[in-house]
Amino acid sequence: MVYFNDTCPVEDIYYIIFVTGKEFKRKPCRPAMALYLNGLDFTKYSPWLTEYISWIEDGKNKFARGENKKALPGIMEVYPRPTFKANISGFTQKKINMIHQSPH
């Protein structure tokens, strides 16, 4: 799992991800590897992200910015903040498959 915190990956950004290897007793071990991925690799199959980002922005505008924020009663404050994360197991498995298929 890769966490992007509150920044959604975009096509203009490239990521270098270092994956540590892991030894398993009952299944094949995972070798250490480096992945080189474009932000679009993470988001292209999640078209709902645009709607989600808009929803978060609406929440920020309603509860955490400008006159709306000032008009809220009480002593509590909020700031809606997303956490973007990606399960990279498909990328690591693809890399493992490429390693096993390459001639040694």
Residue 104 buriedness (CB in 10 A; 0-12 / 13-18 / 19+): exposed
DSSP per residue, 29-55: PBPPEEEEEEHHHHHTT-TTHHHHHHH
Instruction: Walk along the chain (104 residues) in steps of 10 and give the mean pLDDT of each run.
Output: 96 96 84 95 97 97 96 96 96 86 70
3-state secondary structure of 90: helix
List the domain boundaries for the chain: 2-101
Distance, CA of 68 to CA of 61 (rounded, Å)? 7
